[in-house]
């Protein structure tokens, strides 16, 4: 790869920018493949795609998800009991891609299951259905080959940045970013355990205010910004309008599903979109 070549705008980025012309903010919903069962998780994904979420993030479960809090951790452990297979997951994603052309699908997992499958092989095979890959325990400096593979396959490696990321490192990530950047809103893991301590009216951030943090990222970055961790309610999403392009909802969705199944999911999506 030569450095002086400006990369074409990725398909994921184009998609987000197109959609954003029509909507103030997009929704990315996070689900765990295999929870509560393989079939039910497929039904859940279909329900979300039918309800028109623009982006669906599918987590392939790992036994030791160190960036995830209780809701997703529990879902991963239950999912693993059903012996989820990565190649089956990829097939399901491929079929979604054909049936729901108005949404894009991202695959998220920890390194080990992907590494076990073969990271290069995965990237190649995922390209038919997956627009972006999220691997929270793969740091930029360990990712040279992965980035080459992704570019070749036309998949975006999605990098995570946090309010604690120093500015020089933020710049590195912004330069590497294609598709979108995943801006973690605060410290800690996914879900509610530690955001409960904080004012639920705000998306909690740590040393800097969310506005300043996202402002800085927007200044350094040319790709769309997605914000996640601790987003549960409509007013949080409203607050993000103008600061970010995508709101990511994970644990809240799982909790809704656990409380009231697919009905509650549809209701939550409607509420989050502010359409009631």
Residue ranges in contact with another protein by CB under 8 A: 61-67, 69-70, 73-74, 77, 80, 83-86, 110-117, 136-139, 141-142, 159-162, 164-166, 169, 184, 187-189, 194, 206-207
Of residues 159 and 257, the one with the C-beta less far from another protein: 159
Rounded to the nearest whole angstrom, what is the least distance from the CB of residue 111 to another protein in the complex?
4
The least distance separating another protein from the CB of residue 22, rounded to whole angstroms, comes to 31
Q: Which is nearer to another protein, 4 or 141 (CB)?
A: 141
Nearer to another protein, 78 or 234 (CB): 78
By C-beta, is 51 or 74 nearer to another protein? Answer: 74
Q: Least distance to another protein from the beta carbon of 215, Å?
A: 19
68 is an active site residue:
yes
Integer Cα distance of 183 and 140 in angstroms: 15
Residue of 19, 54, 68, 125 with catalytic role: 68
Cα(178)–Cα(31) distance, integer angstroms: 23
Smallest distance, another protein to C-beta of residue 274, A: 30
Q: For residue 23, which of 173, 238, 257 has the smallest C-alpha distance?
A: 238
Q: Which of 4, 50, 54, 57 is catalytic?
A: 57
Quick one: 69 or 103, whose CB is closer to another protein? 69
Nearest approach, Cβ of residue 225 and another protein (Å)? 15
The 10 Å Cβ neighbour count of residue 56 is 23
> Is the separation of the CB atoms in 68 and 190 below 8 Å?
yes
Residues belonging to the active site: 57, 68
């Amino acid at each position: 790869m030569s450095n002086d070549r400006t990369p074409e705008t990725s398909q994921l980025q184009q998609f987000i920018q197109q959609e954003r012309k029509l909507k103030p903010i997009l929704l990315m919903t996070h689900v765990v493949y295999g929870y509560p069962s393989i079939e039910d998780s497929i039904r859940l994904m279909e329900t979300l795609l039918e309800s028109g979420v623009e982006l669906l993030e599918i987590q392939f479960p790992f036994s030791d998800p160190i960036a995830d809090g209780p809701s997703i951790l529990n879902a991963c452990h239950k999912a693993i009991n059903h012996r989820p297979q990565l190649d089956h997951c990829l097939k399901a994603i491929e079929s979604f891609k054909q049936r729901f052309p108005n949404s894009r699908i991202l695959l998220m997992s920890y390194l080990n299951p992907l590494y076990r499958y073969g990271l290069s092989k995965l990237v190649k095979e995922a390209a038919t259905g997956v627009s972006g890959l999220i691997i929270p325990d793969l740091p930029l400096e360990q990712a040279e080959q992965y980035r080459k593979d992704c570019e070749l396959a036309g998949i975006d490696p999605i990098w995570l940045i946090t309010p604690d990321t120093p500015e020089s490192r933020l710049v590195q990530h912004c330069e590497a970013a294609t598709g979108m950047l995943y801006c973690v809103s605060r410290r800690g893991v996914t879900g509610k355990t530690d955001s409960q301590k904080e004012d639920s009216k705000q998306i909690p951030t740590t040393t800097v205010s969310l506005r300043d943090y996202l402002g800085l990222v927007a200044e350094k970055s040319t790709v769309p910004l997605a914000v996640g961790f601790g987003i549960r309610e409509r007013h949080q999403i409203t607050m993000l309008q103008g600061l970010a392009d995508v709101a990511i909802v994970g644990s809240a969705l799982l909790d809704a599903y656990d409380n009231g199944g697919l009905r509650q999911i549809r209701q939550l999506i409607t509420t989050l979109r502010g359409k009631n």
